[in-house]
Structure 1
């Protein structure tokens, strides 16, 4: 993560294509009577996520190039189906006359949102003669209000330290509503120590960590990047601290950061907020040696533990090369004797455009494919065999993992992204290997349709929701802390798993993108069928074998107990 335009993944099997759908499409149209009219949804960023259904006031900014007369705006509200596709016809349409105007004007239109879920908004400006003058498309969602954070293994990447997202006061409440209990972000050395020996912390750093503490969200903070500005002679060829002097300066930065944000004795709003630290993001071992990285890890581990002995120090930062499960980073560190200088290690197992169940084939790796059902058990056995001096095995953290929306790859649309997100967290929970898995990332990093790095988010760049945002929120609320219990159906293209025993939740989905019928054995009684949007349908099961139609986005079957 921390540099948006530099991403290397030890698990990527190929170069991705280009990505995504924009949240706000400003499409201009010409007619014989008028030049183009710009139409833009002007509601505040983040306000398109609602916590209750009902009336929603949409504000549109209309900007004609000249004098506009007798036009009207029409807004259609479209629902989404169980497979994440928008309906072909609107639930309802709303019209409002604009009248004569020069220059820009704000137009309010009240619409009715009937239930939980995701909705597409199509707005059109037409002349009195029915000519289309301008269009725009957006989305809004209704999700269940959350008072508590989500499950302890659900995390998501943010970019507060890079100043490319809205302020924490806008974004972190949405993180909580999406059902995540963790964020992964940065505290850059160069931003904190601009003058040698003087540590000044940006207000934005204080703000996002203070709000994390207030909301109960746990931050995993990446410590890293060089500091050529303050120490130009220490970084002649690389931003990585390669010399003993550079590592000592880096340790001073770590001490300052952990003392401010990780010390329980600090009384400021952000004191004692950060308990988990990751050393560097995706170090390039084609340019640095494992010995050099281990030297930095050793310095960092000591600096962190001196301030907070209970803190976690995560190695590797997802770095490494090759296609093997776990890459070569942790193996290289263990060969150098680094077992006890870390709490655990991190990996970045990107698999796009492949599914999390099947992944991609490898060559020369301990296992023949990289997927959740192959990598997670392998890493579980790997860590169980490597116990530290304190008697604890190494923890496994997945600190980046995700699928972009990519119309140039078949099937890589917004619905597929939502399906892959939910299935990844369900599969990860099944194998019980990973401490936390962080989806990369929460918000699209830009609006360039041809830049894949802009299009991994669960929210569009303007913070309007994608299906994945809604699906994540429903998954978190429905699954909760339930552990995987058993497989009811475990076929190549069809899955039905039970999570929890005393208060079970059954989750079903298909792997091949089609709808299929799962025959599941369940006690007769009353149940609730819940789709990815949180729409509930009561059902009574009278026979032990229930014929359940499921699709690529997982659906839930929950006992309806009084």
Structure 2
């Protein structure tokens, strides 16, 4: 939950990534006050269970049908009655079909004096009105109160008991309307887990969760977290301390530039939970995109909700119901009028209600097709022809579409499963193929004697990426990357495409970065020999670069430091096209 004076969530997330926050150089989430209790975030849990195995590219993305047997993902929205929002916004939730609201009633507000609860103030009345109108509540309650433990995250027996008692009082106040409580907000942020110096944060947080569960278990869903972005690496020490055996679910805030790849990160979090003996439901209690391009945001809403639902996410909450002063682009509504995002959310309520979708294999990994229920399909992908027999085709905001062309904007097809796609001019794409068999990722070290080391999927404190703790700050995400070292001792990031057959291709790419540092050294290599080189300082758009490959030939995109270290993070995208059919490739908004 964001304060009104805070920076935009998307900006925070991207700054954390591009500037190296959460890369482990200053400890997990940069928290010098406390220890999480594990020096290595992938160490096995107590009891000797094996550590999660490193997962290499080509083994991650699911391209065949999944089970599709899960319950429907709930799609809610963030409100801020705790920050003075008027209850006049409640009808807007009805318009968007939103029945799940996320808000707060701060502990220090509800219990300003020890043992005295004041739960009839303006915020409580607004939340009660929402309940009376059929809404369900997720309340984010940060476990801090000046009356206990010097206002730090509660760590004493008295503080933990008082926090649990406050949550019990909230359950008494709101009854079955209170669906879930989050025990904190974006706890992987810098110094958010405020404990006395030397405290084992993971063990102390888990102890609090145990006290809470003993007090209120069964009255509402007890949620741990949340984390800014997915934060698997941050959460792993908490799993080792017994968190998964205590709580009912985890909360994450998967802010990102593009929806693609969120399924890999959620699947990875589920896999790591499995390694620690218990998988609990994931709730994405904040997600959104901070852009003035409403059509783009609506498209991403449809895609991200689809991908999260397919990965079994239990509930997701769009941030926020209405535009705000400090977040003027992120709401579903502006001045009481529905934005494209609201129209997309309204349509997706009907789609999501049909249950967990399964991915349909359309014969090309660059086609994303997900089947909800018997005959509803959400589909997008690399541009190509689309054939639909019968049924209805709508765009992301529910308007009728001719349904003859497929591209990166999602379509919702209902009433038929007779769907086929043509061949695309796109052969491989670093975004839609991220984590698929199309690409492998390496760290290349050395200047004369080169060494290539395959990169696994690495669990960072904020977001998963292809990298390794030994190569920080090098990372390869779906839309952003960073390199390490300097000109005399470089550690370069490398994307490798291996030709499955003889191919005549054109490569086009886009690389953008802030004017920071002396630039990034870029090259395109065929079987180790350069085809193109450049120095990225602000923007480069190489191509069309003709590339003729035989089966087994290797085409590498290599990025490294120029001369000095620092400022070596960038936004990128590269697409391989069939010869003569390329179009401009642009970087992300």
TM range (shorter): 0.5 to 0.7
Structure 1 stretches of 4+ with a deviation exceeding 6 A read 7-11
Structure 2 CA distance for aligned equivalents of residues 455 and 536 of structure 1: 25
Aligned with 1:404 (options 290, 296, 302): 290
Structure 2 CA distance for aligned equivalents of residues 426 and 292 of structure 1: 34
Three-state SS of the structure 2 residue aligned to 1:318 is strand
Alignment-derived partner of residue 376 in structure 2 = 505
**Which stretch has the larger CA shift, 476-485 or 436-445?**
476-485
Structure 2 CA distance for aligned equivalents of residues 489 and 355 of structure 1: 22
Are the counterparts in 2 of residues 444 and 459 from structure 1 also a CA contact under 8 Å? Answer: yes
Are the counterparts in 2 of residues 280 and 316 from structure 1 also a CA contact under 8 Å? Answer: yes
Alignment-derived partner of residue 61 in structure 1 = none
Alignment-derived partner of residue 73 in structure 1 = none
Alignment-derived partner of residue 248 in structure 2 = 343
Alignment-derived partner of residue 272 in structure 2 = 382
Structure 1 CA distance for aligned equivalents of residues 160 and 396 of structure 2: 48
Alignment-derived partner of residue 465 in structure 1 = 338
1:232-254 Cα deviation digits (max 9, x unpaired): x842xx64234444334333322
1:239-250 matches, cutoff 5 A: 239-250=152-163
Structure 1 CA distance for aligned equivalents of residues 408 and 234 of structure 2: 34
Unaligned runs of 5+ in 1: 18-149, 262-270, 358-370, 407-412, 540-546
1:292-441 matches, cutoff 5 A: 292=201, 294-303=203-212, 305-318=214-227, 325-351=230-256, 354-357=257-260, 371-388=261-278, 393-406=279-292, 413-432=293-312, 434-441=313-320
Q: TM-score, normalised by structure 2?
A: 0.54
1:489-504 matches, cutoff 5 A: 489=362, 491=364, 494-501=367-374, 504=375
Structure 1 CA distance for aligned equivalents of residues 302 and 354 of structure 2: 15
Query: 1:463–1:5: structure 2 CA closer, same or farther, 3 Å change rule?
Result: same
**Residue 158 in 1 paired to residue 158 in 2?**
no
Alignment-derived partner of residue 557 in structure 1 = 413
Structure 2 CA distance for aligned equivalents of residues 291 and 549 of structure 1: 55
Are the counterparts in 2 of residues 2 and 185 from structure 1 also a CA contact under 8 Å? Answer: no
**Superposition RMSD in Å:** 3.4
Question: How many corresponding residue pairs?
Answer: 359
**Residue 527 in 1 paired to residue 406 in 2?**
no
Structure 2 CA distance for aligned equivalents of residues 188 and 339 of structure 1: 25
Are the counterparts in 2 of residues 278 and 313 from structure 1 also a CA contact under 8 Å? Answer: yes
Q: TM-score, normalised by structure 1?
A: 0.57
Alignment-derived partner of residue 5 in structure 2 = 5
Three-state SS of the structure 1 residue aligned to 2:303 is helix
Three-state SS of the structure 1 residue aligned to 2:108 is helix
Alignment-derived partner of residue 213 in structure 1 = 131
Are the counterparts in 1 of residues 140 and 184 from structure 2 also a CA contact under 8 Å? Answer: yes
Structure 2 CA distance for aligned equivalents of residues 344 and 3 of structure 1: 24
**Residue 455 in 1 paired to residue 329 in 2?**
yes
Are the counterparts in 2 of residues 10 and 349 from structure 1 also a CA contact under 8 Å? Answer: no
Three-state SS of the structure 2 residue aligned to 1:272 is helix
Query: 1:183–1:301: structure 2 CA closer, same or farther, 3 Å change rule?
Result: farther
Alignment-derived partner of residue 179 in structure 2 = 275
Task: After TM superposition, give the deviation of residue 454 of structure 1 in Å.
Answer: 3.9
Are the counterparts in 1 of residues 77 and 321 from structure 2 also a CA contact under 8 Å? Answer: yes
Structure 2 CA distance for aligned equivalents of residues 475 and 10 of structure 1: 26
1:247-297 Cα deviation digits (max 9, x unpaired): 343333223222322xxxxxxxxx321131110111256534683464355
Are the counterparts in 2 of residues 444 and 454 from structure 1 also a CA contact under 8 Å? Answer: yes
Structure 2 CA distance for aligned equivalents of residues 181 and 208 of structure 1: 15
Query: 1:557–1:248: structure 2 CA closer, same or farther, 3 Å change rule?
Result: closer
Unaligned runs of 5+ in 2: 19-70, 418-589
Structure 1 CA distance for aligned equivalents of residues 332 and 170 of structure 2: 30
Query: 1:272–1:310: structure 2 CA closer, same or farther, 3 Å change rule?
Result: closer
Query: 1:476–1:380: structure 2 CA closer, same or farther, 3 Å change rule?
Result: same
Structure 2 CA distance for aligned equivalents of residues 303 and 496 of structure 1: 41
Query: 1:9–1:331: structure 2 CA closer, same or farther, 3 Å change rule?
Result: farther
Structure 2 CA distance for aligned equivalents of residues 336 and 495 of structure 1: 37
Are the counterparts in 1 of residues 72 and 314 from structure 2 also a CA contact under 8 Å? Answer: no
Three-state SS of the structure 1 residue aligned to 2:404 is strand
Are the counterparts in 2 of residues 443 and 458 from structure 1 also a CA contact under 8 Å? Answer: yes
Structure 2 CA distance for aligned equivalents of residues 551 and 179 of structure 1: 28
Structure 2 CA distance for aligned equivalents of residues 467 and 530 of structure 1: 14
Three-state SS of the structure 2 residue aligned to 1:213 is helix
Query: 1:250–1:422: structure 2 CA closer, same or farther, 3 Å change rule?
Result: same
Task: After TM superposition, give the deviation of residue 416 of structure 1 in Å.
Answer: 1.0
Alignment-derived partner of residue 114 in structure 2 = 196
1:464-483 matches, cutoff 5 A: 464-483=337-356
Are the counterparts in 2 of residues 489 and 518 from structure 1 also a CA contact under 8 Å? Answer: no
Structure 1 CA distance for aligned equivalents of residues 11 and 276 of structure 2: 21
